[in-house]
Every structure is written in C-alpha cells, then in structure tokens.
Amino acid sequence: MKIAVAGASGFVGSALLPALREDGHEVLQLVRRTPRTAEEHRWDPQHRRIDTTLLDDVDAVVNLGGVGVGDRRWNERHKQAVLSSRVETTATISQALADAAAADPGRPRVLVNASGVGFYGDTGNRVIDEDAPAGDDFLARVCVAWEGATEPAAQAGVRVARIRTGLVLGPGGLLKQLLPLFRAGLGGRLGSGKQYMPWISLRDEVDAIRFLLTTPVEGPVNLSGPTPVPNAEFTAAFGRAVHRPAVLVVPPPALRLALGEFARVGVLAGQRAVPAVLTEAGFRFTHTDVESALRAAVARA
C-alpha cells in the first residue's frame, strides 16, 4: 500500500513509521516544515492547503496530528489550539481524500483518523464500548468535532476508522513524565484513585493501526487494552514495574491548583472503555494486562 501519515514525528507516529516500512508499504510524511527527504511533503492544514494531487494514488492516510492536550496548563488560547489543530488537520485530509475519490471512484481508500477515549467524558465505573454516547466536557466536545471533520471522506466512499485511543504506554508520552517520579519513589495515586484508566501498550497501538489499514472496519474503534484499571491499581502496577513503593496520594485540590480545568477533565475523570470493535474483528493484543504493558514500557525506556 501507499500510505500517507500526518503527525509522524509524534510519540505514536515515530513508532508507526518504521513498522509500516517493515510491512513493505510505501510511506509519505505530511510535514509543516521544509521537507528534508523525498518522502516528506509539505502542507499547511491551518489554512487548509495541501497539494491536490498528493493523495491521488494514495491507498490510505493515517492522521495522528494535534497539539498535546496535557502539555501545559489550559487557558482559552491553548484550548483553541487543541481544538483547531485537530479539526483543521482532519478536515484538510478528509476533503483531499474526498476529492481524490471523486476523481477515481474505483480505487478503495481508507482513513485511520485519531480521536480519544475522552469522547465519552467521565463515565465512572460503567463499562463502555463504541456505542456509548459522547460526554459534555471540553475534551468530549473536541473529540466530537474531530471525528465530525472526517465526514467529507466518509461521504465520498472512503472507509474511515476513528480510533479513540486511551493512555499509550511506551517510552514517551505521559510515561516519560511519570517515570522519573516513580523511580525516585515519589509515585502515587491521583485523587481517590477510583477513576478508570483505559491504557494500551505502544506495541498494541501500532499493531492496531496496522490491523485497521487492511481489515474492513469503519466507524469508532476504541484503541485501549482489554482490561482498563482504576488509577490506584495502575499506580501500584507502575511501582512494581520500577521496583519502588508508590504509596503517595496527590489530593484533588492540589491537582486542581496545579492543572486547573485539565485536572477535572483529564486526570480525575476516567473511562472504563473496552475495545469491543477490535476484539470482534479478530485483533489479538500482545499486552492484555497493565502489569505486562508497564514492564515492557519501562524496559524500553
């Protein structure tokens, strides 16, 4: 397959690219800077600009683009950047794929587009799959708009898989920030520790995307491991993975003081999301429990 990837320099994208090449695919990278190699192609999603011929002979697009959600304390400017970076990127790709499909309607195409389990809002301890409704907090509204931006491609006959990813466990992302604290014995649960964390190992995240490129699945797909766990259980497993105690507690007021709105929406909220669509389609997880996923992530880090 010929596959274009947006967001290839990120945590997941940088692991996905070599895996796609090992599979024998031809890979194009969509970049916002001046291209450095022949496989890189410049685009400007902020202004919805992309070479109209770039996706003409592309079989698939994987869109992982978007400003980091928890990289800084939220203010209105950063929240707008979180929203617009996702919607503009997706809308640009989606329309370009729709145009390519109109020009060559006989060519099957697929769009694997990022989203997040934040789509569901805070669902407490209720088990949820892809049929659950959207929440009503900021992250949920972002995910609804993000997924909605794929509609031009879907209406043009492109198969669209909207991947609602949980916490990816690997040598990067949130784990990179937490690992020094846990290794120093300063790890601990956040708030009550009852909020569920829908985790997935980096290996399974990459393998699931590869699976969706060639498996006839469309619509929302939870990219989360089969056994989501409460924060307290995640914390204890993390401590065991680094052979350190993890008995501290960060109280909710301290989290709200440090993180503002993100503490309520992104840290103290949770989703007990399960990968019903992936499981039904026959995907097999390498890491089915959080302990093995954390041990693998720590070993790679």
What 3-state DSSP class applies to 231?
helix
pLDDT (0 to 100) of residue 82: 96
Overall pTM > 0.85: yes
pLDDT (0 to 100) of residue 227: 97
Structure tokens at 284: 């097999």
Tell me the H-state helices in the chain: 11-22, 76-103, 138-148, 151-155, 173-183, 202-214, 231-242, 252-259, 261-262, 276-281, 290-300
What 3-state DSSP class applies to 180?
helix
DSSP letter (8 states) at residue 46: G
**Model pLDDT for residues 20-63, shown as the tens digit of each residue:** 999 999 999 999 999 999 999 999 999 999 998 999 999 999 99
Neighbour-count burial of 282, counting CB atoms closer than 10 A to its CB (0-12 exposed, 13-18 middle, 19+ buried):
exposed
Mean of pLDDT over the chain: 96
In the structure, how many helices (H) and strands (E) does the chain have?
A: 11, 15
Residue whose structure tokens are 């609804």:
144
Say whether domain 2-170+198-227+272-286 belongs to CATH 2.40.10.10.
no
Confidence of residue 72 (pLDDT cuts 50, 70, 90): confident
Residue whose structure tokens are 């790709």:
93
Beta bridge partners of 113: 63, 162
